[in-house]
Structures are given as structure tokens and as C-alpha cells.
Structure 1
Amino acid sequence: MPRASIIMPVYNNADFVLEAVNSMLGQTYRDFELILIDDGSTDGSASLISRITDYRVRRIYHEKNQGLVSTLNEGFGLATGDYIVRMDSDDISTPNRLELQVSFMDQNPDIGLSAAAFTSSSAGRPKVNPANHEEIKTWLLFHCCLCHPLVIMRNSLVQRLGVRYDSNYPHAEDYELWNRLAFETKVANLPANLLFYRQHSGQVSHLHKAIQDDSARRIRQRQFNKLGLELSAEEYQTMLDFVFFRINQWDQHSYTRALGFANWVLEQNAKHRVYDQQMLNLVFSRCISNLPY
């Protein structure tokens, strides 16, 4: 039985899939299975992965497209390793990715899920997300700060909690799951750059932005419900001003409105103790000051 099970859904990524697969098969850490699930591709992706001969590869083919959520949940059911690792079929992992991630999880048994830093261009600076649990848990109210194709989680956690992606949040199913799991287990981010995250016109954020934005709104509202708050449309727009670091400190009306919103949320958090109060205050302050992590 392998230590790690890598789940890689494939759908119409013939231009990139073999590069993604080879970046996993070439890992310095070799005790894994690679579960490739072709979700009804029509561009030749299925034919490409059928030619892979590495014994660690398991292939599943769907006659018809079932969607990413269904495919990922199928992968959870197929995984036999101690760890479940996510990887997308259009990205590239660094050769030492698994070695570092498995070692980190082995050394930190209290952490149920972790990710790492990534870059989206060959010459770009790595995107380093918040590192520790309280930081991540709080920032998740604002941003999806766990890179989906870089996540590693304990299979025991998945089985114990019956973890599955929720199809009620299309194109933000990962953001929903991280917000949910941050209240069930400790999460972390390694500062090491372990992935080249490919950006192209076929990504969800380009094709389904309106649907993704609506799912994100409902995820955030669910978190605000824990604080006893139901945001109006105007209040949610103020929240988005924090999310996108667009509060104008020189506009008295904008600044006063934002400060009032932050104080309102902090007062409710002091009552309900959903987030670490000091960390929530820090996040609001950094958003107002336009200081991303």
C-alpha cells in the first residue's frame, strides 16, 4: 500500500497533461500511486494517458463528463495511501514536492491538511500564503489561501469525517472545503515554492467567474452566520472592498464605512469567538492598509 495517493482529474487538457503527469512520476519521493481520472475528455487526453506505462499509475475513464466535484469525490473513495495529494492536469510540480510535503506531515501529526507556495510564471516571485493555522483560518474568510493543486491531507481525516467536496458551491468547491475543514483540523502552508501554477484562458476563473463569485459569496455568508451576521448587499460590497484591498484611506466616506464594518464584525467575533480576535483585527488592518500577506 503506497504512502501517498495523488488524485489528478483530467478533462480536455491534452496540451498539458503529460507534462503534469511526468512532474509527479519524476518525484524524488517515490512511494505513491497516481490516480488519473479522465472525465470524458474529447480532445485526446484519454488516449495520451492510456500510453503511460509506470506501474504506479491507476487510470479511470468516464464515458461522459461528470464534473470536477464528482470526479474528486470518486478519487477520495479510490485513494489507499496514508496521504491524499491533489494535483491538476495543467500544472507542474517541483521534483521535491512530495518529499517535502510528506516529511512535513509526518513531523506534524496535529496538522490534517497543508499546502505550499507556488509561482504562476517562470520568472515570477512565489506566492507565499499564510503559514500557521490561525492565520489561514482567519484569512479564509477573505481569500482562498490554500492552493488547491498543492494540498496534501490525511486519508484518516477524510475517512473519519466523511470528507467530500460539496457540489452546492460550483467552481469554489475547494474554498468551501477549506473553510469547513479549518474548524475540524489544523491547517498549514509551507513557505517552499513547490508548484508552477499554469494560467490560461481555459481556467475556471476565466470561464465561470460569475458562478464562482456567487459561490464565494455564499461561502463567506455561511462564515458570517457563525458570527450571528447576515450581510446586506451593501455590507457584502464593503466586505469585497476588504477582500480586494480597494479601501481608499483618503476617501473619508469609504474609510469610515470600512472601519465601521470591521468594528461591527470584531464586536460579534468577541461574542461568538469564531476566530482569534487579535488575528481577525490584524487581517482587517492589513486589508485597510493594502498590505497583502
Structure 2
Amino acid sequence: MPKASVILPVYNNSDFVLEAIHSILVQTYSDFELIIIDDGSTDGSAFLISQIADPRVIKIFHDTNRGLVASLNEGLNKATGEYILRMDSDDISTPDRLGVQISFMDQNSLIDVCGAAFTTSSGGVMKVNPASHDEIKTWLLFHCCMCHPTIIMRTSMIHQLGVQYDSNYPHAEDYELWNRLVFQVQMANLPINVLYYRQHNGQVSNQHRAIQDATARRIRQRQFSQLGLELSEAENQIMLDILEFKINPYDYSSYTKALGFANWVLDQNRKYWVYNQELLNMAFSRCISHLPY
């Protein structure tokens, strides 16, 4: 069996898919299988994939489009490696990505899920997400701070917990999964760039933004429920303004509402101890003060 399984779902991405695949096949770490799942592409992606001859590649072709969640879960079920890594068909992994992430997991047996930093393919600044488990747990109430195509997970954890992506959370299935797993396993983020994240009009976050935002709100409400809170429409809007760094410190009404909301949540957290109180306070302070992590 290979040390690692890389899951790469594809749907109508002929412009970028070969570059994404090539970035995995030229990894400095070579003990892996690459599971490519073409989900009923109609733009020639399937033909391009069919021409790949590397013996480490496992090709799965769907006659019709079943959706990303179905492909991801199929990949989880097919994977035979000790570790499972995610890859998107429009991104580029750095040549040492597998070696860096597998080495970290080998040396940190208590970590079951690990993400990493990434850089936009347009040459942007490296994006470093919160590193420690408690930081990740706290910031997940605000943002999806685990970059999906940088993820590595232990296959043993996947099987032990029966982990599957949930189709009830369209276009935010990864955000839902991390919010679920963070209460069950230890997570981390490496401050090392392992991916060039391509930004383009065809990506999910651009095509399905409204659905993604609505789904993310439902996921956050599930987390607020653990604090004994059911947010009203007005309270949801305040939270949205906070996490999107839209609070105007010179607008007394907006600023006081945001502070009142933050203190309300912090008071509830003192009762339930869902999050580290200091980190939760810091997260609210940074968002209100327009200081992203």
C-alpha cells in the first residue's frame, strides 16, 4: 500500500486540470497514489485524464455529474494510504508538499488533520492560517481557517469515526467537516506554503457565493447553539459584519452593537467553556479592529 492517497475531484476544468495533476506527479516524495475522480465532465477533462499513463494514478469516471460531495466521499472510501491529502483540479501543489506534510504527521502522532499556508497563483502574499488546535477551533466560529486543498488527514481517523462529507451543507462541506471534527480530534496548520491557489471566475466561491454564505451561516449557528445561543436576523447580521471586518469604529451605533454582541457571546462562553476564553476575546477584538490573523 502507498504511504499517501491524494484525492483529486474534477468537473469541467480542462484549462487547469493537467497542471494540477502534474504538480502531484512531480512531487519529491513519490510513495503515493493519486485518485482522480472525473464527475461527468463535458469539456474534455475526462479525455485529458484518460491519457495519463503514470501507474500511481487511479482514474474514476462518472457518466453523469453526482456533485463534489459524492466524489469526495468516494475518494475517502477508495483511499488505501496511511494518509489522505486533498487536491483541487485548478490549483498547483509545491514540489515538496507531500514530503513536508507527511513528515509533520509522522512526527506528530496526536494530530489527525493538518492544513498549511498557501499563496494565490497571481503572486499574492502567503496566507498563513491559525496554527494551534485551540486557535483553529476558535477561528472556525468566524471563518473556514483550514484551506481544503492543503489538507492531510489520517486514514485511521477517517475509518474510526466513519468520516464523510455531508451533502446537507452545499459549497461549504469542508467548513462543516472541520467544525465537526475540531471537537473530536486534534488539528493544526503549518506556516509553510504548500499550494498555489488559483483564483478565477469559475471557482465555487464565485459561482455559488450566495449558497455558500447561507450554508456557512447554518454551520456557525450550530456552533452558537453549543453556547446556548439562537441568533436572530439582526444578531446574525452583526456577526457577519464582525467576521467580514465591516465594523466602523467611528460609527458609534455600529461599534457599540458589535461590542455588545461580542460581550454577550463571551459571557455565554464563560458558562459553557466551548472555546478558550482568551482566544475568543482576541478573535472578536481582531475582527472589530480590522486585524485579520
User: Which residue number in structure 2 is paired with residue 232 of structure 1?
Assistant: 232
Question: Offset at 1:123?
Answer: 2.5
1:242: how far off?
1.1
The secondary structure found in structure 2 opposite 1:47 is helix
Residue 286 (str. 1) matches residue 270 (str. 2): no
- Match of 2:30, SS? coil
Q: Can you give the 5+ residue segments of structure 1 that lack an aligned partner in the other structure?
A: none
Q: Does 1:26 align with 2:26?
A: yes
2:114 is equivalent to residue 137 of structure 1: no
Aligned residue for 1:2? 2
Query: How far 1:121 sits from its partner (Å)?
Result: 3.2
**Distance between the aligned counterparts of 2:143 and 2:208, measured in 1?**
18
- Give the corresponding residue for 1:93: 93
- Indicate the residue corresponding to 2:106 in structure 1: 106
Counterpart of 1:196? 196
Residue identity opposite 1:42 in structure 2? T
Task: Give the match's secondary structure for 1:246.
Answer: coil
1:45: Cα distance to partner? 0.5
Report the residue type matching 1:209 in the other structure: R
Once the two structures are TM-superposed, the CA of residue 114 in structure 1 deviates from its matched residue by: 0.5
Paired with 1:30 and 1:122, the residues of 2 have a C-alpha distance of: 28
**Rounded Cα–Cα distance in structure 1 between residues aligned with 2:290 and 2:208:** 27
What is the alpha-carbon distance in structure 2 between the residues aligned to residue 3 and residue 121 of structure 1?
28
Partner of 2:276: 276
Distance 1:202 1:127 in 2: 21
Give the corresponding residue for 1:255.
255
Q: Secondary structure at the match of 1:102?
A: helix
Letter in 2 for 1:149: P
User: TM (normalized to structure 1)?
Assistant: 0.99
Q: Is the 8 A contact 2:112 2:153 kept in 1?
A: yes
For 1:36, the equivalent position in structure 2 comes to: 36
Query: 1:183, 1:172 → 2: CA distance?
Result: 18
Q: Does 1:120 align with 2:129?
A: no
Structure 2: tracts of 5 or more residues without a match: none
* C-alpha contact (below 8 Å) 2:4/2:33 kept by paired residues: yes
What is the aligned residue count? 293
Contact 2:122/2:198 (<8 A) preserved: no
How many percent identity over aligned positions? 69
Amino acid at match of 1:136: I
Distance 1:178 1:36 in 2: 23
Matched position secondary structure for 1:194:
strand
Query: What CA distance in whole angstroms lies between the structure 1 residues aligned with 2:10 and 2:104?
Result: 28
Q: Counterparts in 2 of 1:148-187, with a 5 A limit?
A: 148-187=148-187
How much has 1:245 moved relative to structure 2? 0.8
Offset from partner CA, 1:50-74 (integer Å, 9 cap, x none): 1111110000010000000011001
The RMSD of aligned alpha carbons is: 0.7
Separation of aligned partners in 2, 1:42 and 1:74: 20
CA deviations over 1:143-197 (Å, ceiling 9, x no partner):
0011001100000010000000010110000000011111111111111111010
Report how far residue 126 of structure 1 moved. Answer: 0.5
Q: Which residue is 2:223 aligned to?
A: 223
TM-score between both structures, scaled by the size of structure 2: 0.99
SS in 2 for 1:106: helix
Q: Which region of structure 1 is more displaced relative to structure 2, 199-208 or 93-102? A: 199-208
AA partner of residue 118 (structure 2): F
| 8 A contact 2:245–2:287 mirrored in 1 | yes
- Tell me the SS of whatever aligns to 2:58: strand
> Quick one: distance in 2 between partners of 1:182 and 1:149?
18
Q: Secondary structure at the match of 2:35?
A: strand
Structure-1 residue corresponding to 2:76: 76
**1:209 equivalent in structure 2:** 209
Runs of 4+ in 1 over 4 A off after TM superposition: none
